[in-house]
Amino acid sequence: MPDFDAIIIGAGMSGMYQLIRLRELGMKLRVLEAGTGVGGTWYWNRYPGARFDSESYSYGFSFDPELLQEWSWSEHFAPQPETLRYLNRVADKYDLRRDIQFNSKVTAAHYADGGWTLTLADGSRQTARFLITAIGPLSAPTLPRIEGIESFRGPSFHTARWPHEGVDFTGKRVAVIGTGATGVQTIQEVAKTAGHLTVFQRTPNWCAPLHNRPITEEEQRRIKEDYPAIFQRCAETFACFLHSADPRGTFEVTKAEREAFYEELYASPGFGIWVGNFKDSYTDPAANREISDFVAAKIRQRVKDPRVAEMLIPKNHGFGTRRVPMETRYYEVYNQPNVELVDSKATPIQRITPTGLTTSERDFEFDIIIYATGFDALTGAFDRIDIRGREGVALKQAWSAGARTLVGMLAEGFPNMFMLLGPHTALGNIPRSIEFNVEWVSALLAHMQQHHLAEAEPRPEAVEAWMAHVMECSIGLLANDVDSWFTGVNKNVEGRQTRMIARYSGSAPAYRARCDAIAAGGYRELRLGAASGATPG
């Protein structure tokens, strides 16, 4: 007998909700979590300035109406400490911690005889019939591959491994390496107190204003009344945000109308400028040029030194073809006398030294170095666990030419493994996808319970068809021609140097419709059977 019916790896939002749902099936459950608390992304990413880029009230769990009425978000885009408090409140309310084992990093998960054996970093083992990975798409931090990185004598941090006690920058000489969504949030905060801040930017990103502000009492009352409508809207939009693309093409309106629309989006809170833009903004190069030129002009207006402004304007990709970092006075940071921007493409970092770093041009001295260098996205968290399926085949090996899944949640050759945010699930406003995926996996497990089925695995032809759909969805996207985690590129990771179709780029409603059709059809795309060795039904 295995120790548990199911083991869930990870106590972030997906692991927490999966635990709540599977308890309803009366299962014996265990969540293994590497950290000391719940929260996942919001537990690990404690860097200064970390906050939502989606509206707070569209991000929280939707499944508990009582919790929705009880919890009051303080800002339209909540800061990380508040989100972590919220997730701890959920853990308290549902008494989740009694099934969570903290400080428990899973190093291996091997399948045999209808079940999984998990090995932890301390060498201990646990077994379960079902393995559920709740390990997130952006959770495996990557440090840059720069010589001497261990030699720096001062404190240095990756943003996703930030010290719980915080860091005081007052009067300090600080370096930030990386200018993605994380770097941007960090830079605008650190610049407030650092004695001197040097930003090392390899590729500029197109950033746009977040326009965050506190939620007024009147707004709070309306939000709480409107929750059903808010979540209904999220269920209908392409990426589960409150924003959705404008149905007009860029050139269907006059130049003056276009400019007015861009101005309106630029002045509005949140992702509207990115995901609420003209429908062809990220498929038609000419349309993309229009919005890129508009945002470039804004950067030139906001940054006083024209040379620095040009450094901050991306030249190798158009607006929105990579994740748009949302900012609050980010560009104005470069008008401060205590901030310097270094072009790490023109003058690459050659070495980290005991007292700072050396570029191809000069030496720098720092008290603190911050690595905002991102993640081995989508599959990195899977690669960091030695996952082996039938006949000992390693998942990393099976996915060496790119991940292969059925709806991002199942992998052929890995029976009874369910991935909550696997590589081809719909992302966007992630908690909305989490709730759907958790409910889909829970319904499948309920179905298996009802029919006394012990094993589930996707059929090869279903995986083939799904992969063809994933490829088809990506056709024509300008983002395909740009290096980023969207296209599976991470220069700091071996084997991630070339672009591929790494994620699902269809709409969330289309994704859910396909998953629902599998369930409604009685899971014909899966081999469902008795325990290992028996003929699947």
Site for ligand NAP contains 181 (CB under 6 A): yes
Q: Are 431 and 234 in contact (CB under 8 A)?
A: no
Residue with nearest beta carbon to ligand NAP: 180
Least Cβ distance, residue 303 to ligand NAP (angstroms): 18
Q: How many residues would you count in the chain?
A: 537
For ligand NAP, which residue of 4, 43, 52, 261 counts as binding (CB under 6 A)? Answer: 52
- Report the nearest approach of ligand NAP to the CB of residue 202 (Å): 3
Binding to ligand NAP by residue 370, rule CB under 6 A?
Answer: no
Closer to ligand NAP by CB, 20 or 299: give it. 299
Nearer to ligand NAP, 15 or 137 (CB): 137
- Which of 42, 152, 200, 504 binds ligand NAP (CB under 6 A)? It is 200
SS3 string, 209-271, reads: ECCCCECCHHHHHHHHHHHHHHHHHHHHCCCCCCCCCECCCHHHCCHHHHHHHHHHHHCCCCC
Smallest separation (angstroms) from ligand NAP to the CB of 146: 6
Which parts of 478-497 interact with ligand NAP (CB under 6 A)?
485, 491-492
Nearest to 127 by CA among 240, 3, 265: 3
Question: How many alpha carbons lie under 13 Å from residue 34 in its C-beta half-sphere?
Answer: 20
344 touches ligand NAP (CB under 6 A): yes
The tokens 């996205």 sit on which residue?
377
Helix H or strand E segment including 457: strand 455-458
C-beta of 370: minimal distance to ligand NAP in Å? 11
Q: How far is the CB of 143 from ligand NAP (least distance, A)?
A: 8
Q: Which of residues 303-342 bind ligand NAP (CB under 6 A)?
A: 323
Strands (E), 312-362: 326-327, 339-343, 349-353, 356-359
One residue of 12, 15, 180, 356 binding ligand NAP per CB under 6 A: 180
Told to check if 179 binds ligand NAP by CB under 6 A, we report: yes
CA 266, CA 113: separation in Å to the nearest integer? 56
CB of 177 to ligand NAP, least distance (A): 5
144 is a site residue for ligand NAP (CB under 6 A): yes
Residue 41 or 277 having the CB closest to ligand NAP: 41
Taking the C-alpha atoms of residue 505 and residue 282, their distance in angstroms, rounded to an integer, is: 12
Instruction: Assess contact for 504 and 429: CB atoms under 8 A.
Output: no
Candidate residues 9, 16, 32, 53; the one interacting with ligand NAP per rule CB under 6 A:
53
Beta bridge partners of 127: 117
- Piece of the chain touching ligand NAP by CB under 6 A; list 65-73, 182-190, 360-368, 461-469: 182-190
- Report the Cα 104 to chain-centroid distance in Å: 22
Question: Strands, DSSP E only, in 59-172?
Answer: 100-101, 106-112, 115-120, 125-133, 156-158
Which lies closer to ligand NAP via its Cβ, residue 73 or residue 261?
73
By CB under 6 A, name the binding residues for ligand NAP: 51-53, 138, 144, 146, 177-183, 185, 200, 202-203, 323, 344, 349, 372-375, 485, 491-492
